[in-house]
């Protein structure tokens, strides 16, 4: 049985290219812990892609070429996912939706401790993301899946 985390805070939701050239999923990013030192990155289920293995999506981008493999298994993939979420918040692309003070939950598939701080985070939780509240969840699938 997987762990479920929850919180209330700022959540960034953005389209994520899942399969080239035109199959998109939806990614949610938020932070938790003291000073936001824990990244929460998850996929929001959609009718087209109810489940996405984000670590597999990240691995297809060969993140070890950028981040190295010194951090252990999953380190480079976790860094890549944090980069996608963090940069999607910092420089929103078309279709990004920002929610402030929304309740969320994450069904954790994987937790990766980072051996050094990356994008302000020391740890990353990856999994299935749900925005609590019908209004927020109704807006999230409205993220254009073709950009």
Better-scored residue on pLDDT, 62 or 47: 62
Q: Where are the alpha helices (DSSP H) in 44-139?
A: 54-60, 64-67, 75-90, 134-139
Domain ranges of the chain: 4-141
Residue 140 scores a pLDDT above 70: no
CA 104 to CA 139: how far, in whole Å? 14
Please provide the average confidence, as pLDDT, over all residues in the chain.
87
């Amino acid at each position: 049985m997987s762990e479920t985390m929850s919180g209330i805070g700022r959540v960034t939701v953005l389209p994520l290219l899942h399969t080239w050239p035109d199959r998109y999923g939806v990614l949610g990013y938020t932070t938790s812990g003291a000073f936001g030192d824990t990244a929460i990155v998850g996929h929001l289920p959609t009718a087209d892609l109810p489940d996405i293995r984000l670590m597999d999506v990240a691995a297809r981008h060969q993140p070890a070429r950028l981040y190295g493999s010194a951090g252990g298994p999953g380190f480079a993939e976790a860094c890549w996912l944090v980069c996608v979420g963090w940069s999607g918040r910092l420089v929103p692309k078309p279709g990004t939706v920002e929610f402030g003070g929304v309740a969320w939950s994450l069904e954790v598939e994987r937790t990766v401790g980072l051996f050094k701080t990356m994008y302000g985070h020391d740890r990353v939780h990856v999994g299935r993301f749900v925005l609590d509240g019908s209004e927020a969840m109704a807006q999230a699938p409205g993220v254009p899946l073709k950009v």
